[in-house]
Amino acid sequence: MTGSEATPSFRLAYVPGATPAKWVRIWNERLPDIPLTLVAVDAADADGLLRDGDADAGLVRLPVDRTYFSAIPLYTETSVVVIPKDHLAAAFEELTADDIADEIVLHPLDDPFDWERPPGQPALERPETTADAIELVAAGIGLLVVPQSLARLHHRKDLTYRTITDVPQSEIALAWPEERTTDLVDDFIGIVRGRTVNSTRGRRTQDGDRPTATGKRPEATTARRKPGTAKPGQGKSGGAKSGGARSGGAKSGGKAPRGGASGGGKRGKPRRRP
């Protein structure tokens, strides 16, 4: 060993609210010699970070550019509205968009939702970040609709949140540049898909063929024969079975068709003489 060889490692980016802990734990159990490094990244910067190769894969919010990235949807988050604890809406367990139609609803620049039209009344200015919007909610300036994980991430004692229906939901996915689907990326795909430790899916097979992202081997289209077995339609010697040649549809040396008619046709009923 020359000392110039780099130690293998895997870098996993994750956006605010994503929870990689479960999969990191499984990785460390299965691949203890290959360190996994977590890279925190703002949702708006995740695309560029993965394109630049600063992470091997990432837990990101959909949508992503499917012409460049492969992506596996993992889970969909519940949407909630963040409100002051003394707000009238806190008396309800669940809200709808109509319930906050007359409220100022903040729409930060890093909003994870693909709104057709945000609910409520727009603020005079859009906050720069979700964290900034949370501060404005605490100041009594408006409300904020976010995925539940972000409401938990920015938890404050003076704020609470309630589930809100009939609004978009955010979906977390594992994404990576398709052209850089390495063995380690395959390993992590296997972990998030719940494959067992003994599964060959997601890893290079012994003969060097890489499975696809779905685990299928692209070249294996024909069944393999055991050594010494014949091809379909052949005897053990490789030719036709002895005595097995067909003539006129009957086996050679076999019994003639019933009725004695050549060609194996059915015997017709005898004609009565007048």
Q: Facing residues of 164 across strands?
A: 95
pLDDT attached to residue 185: 97
**Which single residue is written with the structure tokens 């920015």?**
154
Give the domain ranges of the chain: 10-76+171-192, 79-164
Q: Which CATH class is domain 10-76+171-192?
A: alpha beta
Q: Which residue has the higher pLDDT, 233 or 213?
A: 233
Indicate the angle between helix axes 21-30 and 183-192, nearest 10 degrees.
120
Listed in sequence order, the DSSP H helices in the chain are: 21-30, 46-51, 130-138, 148-153, 183-192
In tens, the pLDDT along 106-164 reads 999 999 998 888 899 999 999 999 999 999 999 999 999 999 999 999 999 999 999 99
Take residue 260 and report the two structure tokens written for it: 């004695």
Largest CA distance in the chain: 116
pLDDT attached to residue 174: 98
Same fold, 10-76+171-192 and 79-164: yes
Between CA 236 and CA 242, with CA 241 as vertex, the angle to 5 degrees is 115
pTM: 0.70
Task: Please state, as a whole number, how many other Cβ atoms lie within 10 Å of the Cβ of residue 52.
Answer: 9
CATH number, domain 79-164, options 3.40.190.10, 1.20.140.160, 3.40.309.10, 3.50.50.60? 3.40.190.10
pLDDT > 80? residue 172 = yes
